[in-house]
Amino acid sequence: MLLTFPIYLSCLLLALTIAWCLLAPPTHAAFHAIRWAGVSLTSLSGWLAGLITPIGLLSLLGLAVLMAARARCRMAWHRNMLTTLAVLAALAMALHMLPGFERVVIFHGILSEGSTPARISWTLDKALAGLMLFGLYVPSTAPRPAKTWLIFAISLMLGILMLGVFSGMLNWSPKTINQVALHWLFGNLFLTTFAEEVVFRHWLQNSLAHHLAHRRFGTPMSIALAGVAFGVAHLAGGPLYALLATLAGCAYGLVYATFPSRWSPVLAHTAFNSLHFFLLTYPLSAGN
């Protein structure tokens, strides 16, 4: 599928909706109304652009119904059941397990010498799942750790990249900013990273921190458990890749715990991925 104006328009509507969710005050009277309007317009324009089929629209409608029912439910056990169903449905959509969503291939080939073939593409299912699951977001109430945790988080992210180089998974391979790189950056920020942080930091880490608030090491435990879950989600890349993803997830969690804004883990995640993309072999070194 070729990139066309309707595809760009659909992705622009999605990006504007995500920016609203990350930057607008959640106490705004129309916060969730604008979020749902953005989801609806993106879905409609995605269908018109050929990115979403009628089956995909039905999947989105089903997830929307679950989220709406949960928001109106007052019984705790019923609400928890609907939350579980909504999260499972959103994860299935984010992992591209549900039919009805087309993928636009931006680039397929070798990005730099010594790299394995890269497949850069855009698809709307993960980001739309993240936008709908954003209805579970509640501002963090966990105690904020010392700012020195941020230094540890940055050191951890740089250490992960160095470990990747020392293990042979990655090698030094700087790239210039070109059209492919800009499309990758847009897709990574709005179509991938946002949804992953909604699930693993905005929802899971926040929920764990709330339930572990009475424990002495509740905040570190919530960061570690969310990081492990993030690593498990990347097991398809192999044990070492999952381990590095676990450490990266802990680093994003440290950033979020230190600066509990909606955009901080998304920015940290995108910055880490950008260092990987622009400075090292992407996705991996040849032979891995």
How far, in Å, are 61, 94, 199, 232 from residue 90 at the CA level? Answer: 12, 6, 9, 17
Scored b (16 or more CB within 10 A) or e, 72-90 reads eeeeeeeeeebbebbbebb
Residues in the chain, overall count: 288
Q: Is residue 19 part of a domain?
A: yes
Mean pLDDT score of the chain: 95
Structural domain boundaries enclosing 71: 5-279
Dump pLDDT digits (tens) for 213-272.
888 899 999 999 999 999 999 999 899 999 999 999 999 999 999 999 999 999 999 999
pLDDT of residue 11: 97
pTM for the full predicted model: 0.95
Contacts of 49 (CB under 8 A, 6+ apart): 4, 6, 7, 9, 10
Q: Is residue 288 part of a domain?
A: no
What angle, rounded to 10 degrees, do the helices at 264-279 and 179-186 form?
A: 150
Tokens of 154: 């940055």
Q: Is residue 286 part of a domain?
A: no
Dump pLDDT digits (tens) for 260-274.
999 999 999 999 999
**Count of domains forming the chain:** 1
Dump pLDDT digits (tens) for 44-81.
999 999 999 999 999 999 999 999 999 999 899 999 99
Q: Is residue 284 part of a domain?
A: no
Spatial distance between the Cα atoms of 280 and 169, rounded to a whole number of angstroms = 10
Please name every residue paired with 120 in a beta bridge, in sequence order, or none if there are none.
107
